[in-house]
């Protein structure tokens, strides 16, 4: 069921970013009218051009270069469009950088969300899907799959900003009638669009494993650094739960449609429920690219743990969402993107 109409738009904040742009593609492909807001500090407009081509759009996607901390700029967008709901991606997202620049993360992520929620309330827009993260959970050293009721306990300023953003939205839902909100806490997004024309484009050396591995595979970086080989896992390297970016994008659209059922405030974990070690992911990418990917073993990093897995039961039962793409497809699509776009969108 498509819930958009000729007169209403879905506002996607951070819609030029990795997950945001893939979600915009799914939205427009399903007939939603979309307006994108992004300050382009970690992205560019090119993904929007590629969305227009992939979706066969006859008109340019409405795009506004606006920072969410600019309250008047946000209000101007709401005045221009009849917005029915919001999918909120816009945020700084590097864990390591957040430790070095915590105030910048609090200012951007928390203040931006406050301004967005204030403006939504002012214009009577009370439907929001929020892009959250598994970093809000307390680290579980027993390796149990994390459910939505798992104890919270962030280990970085980035994680705390995500939790604060969730709390702001939850309190608004509790205080003011008519709000509906879905929090999506996801684990390790990876992959790219199957065409190879859209993918993740890190501005600097990648912080996450798979973009790093793919850049080693194509020769931009020398070797993968494996941090720790003495974890209590099947090969001694850390286990993580990976989800294809297109599965993730489709989950956001499913969540958007659920807002019309008016359930108030809900939380869902998004992941596969299975995990791969670092070495298994390197092997899978080696298979995708057709050659061995070099790596070196380094000491553990502070704060890393053995295993982090998603329990996807609730998303499956309530949303009807399960991942459709496996690790092999994640690596194949990521490699296709890397080959066709060795320098990203530049």
Question: What whole-number distance in Å separates Cα of residue 201 and Cα of residue 44?
Answer: 9
Angle at 229 between CA 225 and CA 235, to 5 degrees: 115
Q: Is 200 helix (H, G, I), strand (E, B) or coil?
A: coil
| Burial status of residue 155 (CB atoms within 10 A of its CB: 0-12, 13-18, 19 or more) | middle
Say what angle helices 71-80 and 112-122 make with each other, to 10 degrees. 40
At 161, which helix (H) or strand (E)?
A: helix 157-175
Q: In whole angstroms, what separates CA 200 from the centre of its chain?
A: 11
Residue positions annotated with a catalytic role: 158
> How far apart are the C-alpha atoms of 78 and 91, rounded to whole Å?
19
Q: Which two tokens stand for residue 316?
A: 């499956």
Residue among 65, 74, 114, 112 at smallest CA distance from 90:
112
CA separation, residue 24 to residues 92, 181, 249 (Å)? 19, 19, 8
Query: DSSP readout, 268-308?
Result: EEES-S--EEHHHHHHHHHHHHTSPPPEEEEPPPTT--SEE
Contact present, 17 and 164 (Cβ < 8 Å): no
The DSSP code sequence of 217-259 is: HTTSSS-EEEE-S-SSSSSSS-EE-EEEHHHHHHHHHHHHHHG
């Amino acid at each position: 069921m498509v819930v958009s109409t000729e007169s209403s738009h879905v506002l996607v904040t951070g819609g030029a970013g990795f997950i945001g742009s893939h979600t915009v593609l799914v939205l427009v492909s399903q007939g939603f009218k979309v307006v994108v807001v992004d300050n382009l500090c970690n992205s560019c407009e090119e993904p929007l051009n590629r969305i227009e081509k992939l979706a066969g759009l006859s008109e340019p996607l409405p795009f506004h270069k606006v920072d969410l901390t600019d309250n008047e700029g946000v209000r101007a967008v709401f005045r221009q469009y009849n917005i029915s709901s919001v999918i909120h991606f816009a945020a700084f997202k590097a864990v390591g950088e957040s430790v070095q620049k915590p105030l910048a993360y609090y200012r951007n992520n928390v203040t931006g969300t406050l301004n967005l929620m204030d403006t939504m309330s002012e214009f009577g827009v009370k439907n929001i899907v929020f892009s959250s993260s598994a970093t809000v959970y307390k680290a579980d050293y027993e390796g149990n799959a994390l459910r939505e009721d798992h104890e919270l306990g962030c280990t970085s300023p980035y994680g705390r900003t995500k939790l604060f953003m969730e709390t702001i939205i939850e309190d608004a839902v509790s205080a003011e009638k008519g709000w509906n909100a879905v929090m999506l806490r996801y684990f390790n997004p990876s992959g790219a669009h199957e065409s190879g024309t859209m993918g993740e484009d890190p501005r600097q050396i990648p912080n996450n494993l798979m973009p790093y591995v793919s850049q080693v595979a194509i020769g931009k970086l020398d070797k993968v650094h494996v941090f720790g080989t003495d974890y209590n896992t099947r090969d001694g390297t850390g286990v993580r739960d990976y989800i294809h970016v297109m599965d993730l994008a489709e989950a956001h659209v499913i969540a958007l449609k659920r807002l019309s059922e008016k359930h108030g405030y809900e939380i869902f974990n998004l992941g596969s429920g299975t995990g791969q070690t670092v070495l298994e992911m390197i092997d899978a990418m080696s298979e995708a690219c057709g050659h061995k990917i070099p790596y070196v073993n380094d000491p553990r990093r502070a704060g890393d743990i053995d295993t982090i897995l998603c329990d996807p039961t609730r998303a499956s039962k309530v949303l009807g969402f399960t991942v459709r793409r496996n690790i092999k497809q994640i690596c194949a699509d990521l490699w296709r993107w890397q080959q066709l776009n060795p320098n990203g969108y530049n």
